[in-house]
């Protein structure tokens, strides 16, 4: 349901979807999903000194890399940890690189599915998308005509925008470490205003 004003039009919520800063695993091009890695020194340095637009609230994944990123980008603002905004688990592929996995039949099957099927022992795309969209809708409902930052993961951002932006594209929304998108939410759709 949309957030309605007395005149009947949906109120807009500004949402910053921000990917966490770089970790050692990101530098090494490893699958880092549920592994709780901190920011690496290069990741911290790339974030420090940035001036971010003001927000009413900061929501974060429970994983350390997101909490550390939010503390650098929004110092002094309290963070609300939202477990369902976490990255998916890559299961048996966690902490491995493409080079390490390329001969693995299960890995090839996962790639052939476009990442839709669940990795062995991991979470499938549909499950991750359902929980992240549900969490986002709950948070957005708290901020009619307000502004919030979600400091989360690349997969979380791609899942949200694939489901709610309208184009139905997943890989279009790959954000670099520390990057992201400014969006407006009308209760039904996320409109991307800027990268």
pLDDT confidence of residue 141? 83
| Site of tokens 């592994």 | 35
pLDDT confidence of residue 3? 35
| Residue ranges, the chain, pLDDT below 50 | 1-10
**Contact 140/185 with Cβ under 8 angstroms?**
yes
pLDDT confidence of residue 12? 55
Secondary structure element (H or E) that encloses residue 139, with its range: helix 125-141
Token pair for residue 114? 């476009």
Distance of alpha carbon 54 from alpha carbon 187, whole angstroms: 22
Distance of alpha carbon 31 from alpha carbon 97, whole angstroms: 6
pLDDT confidence of residue 7? 36
In the 8-state DSSP scheme, what is residue 187?
A: S
The burial class, CB within 10 Å (0-12 / 13-18 / 19+), for 177 is: buried
pLDDT confidence of residue 4? 31
pTM, two decimal places:
0.91
Token pair for residue 16? 């910053």
108-113 LR contacts (CB < 8 Å, sep 24+)? none
> Is residue 148 helix, strand or coil?
strand
Would you tell me how many other CB atoms lie within 10 Å of the CB of residue 150? 29
Token pair for residue 21? 């800063």
pLDDT confidence of residue 2? 34
pLDDT confidence of residue 6? 37
């Amino acid at each position: 349901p949309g957030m309605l004003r007395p005149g009947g039009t949906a109120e807009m919520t500004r949402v910053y979807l921000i990917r966490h800063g770089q970790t050692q695993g990101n530098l090494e091009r490893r699958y880092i999903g549920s592994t709780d890695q901190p920011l690496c020194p290069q990741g911290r340095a790339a974030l420090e000194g940035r001036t971010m637009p003001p927000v009413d609230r900061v929501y974060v994944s429970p994983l350390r890399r997101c909490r550390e990123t939010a503390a650098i980008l929004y110092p002094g603002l309290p963070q609300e940890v939202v477990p369902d905004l976490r990255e998916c688990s890559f299961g048996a592929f966690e902490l491995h690189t493409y080079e390490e996995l390329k001969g693995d039949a299960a890995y090839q099957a996962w790639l052939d599915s476009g990442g839709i099927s669940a990795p062995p022992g991991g979470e499938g795309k549909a499950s991750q998308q359902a929980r992240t969209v549900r969490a986002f809708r709950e948070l957005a409902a708290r901020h009619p005509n307000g502004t919030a930052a979600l400091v989360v993961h690349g997969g979380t951002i791609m899942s949200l925008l694939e489901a709610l932006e309208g184009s139905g594209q997943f890989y279009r929304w790959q954000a670099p470490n520390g990057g992201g998108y400014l969006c407006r939410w009308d209760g039904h759709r996320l409109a991307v205003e800027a990268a």
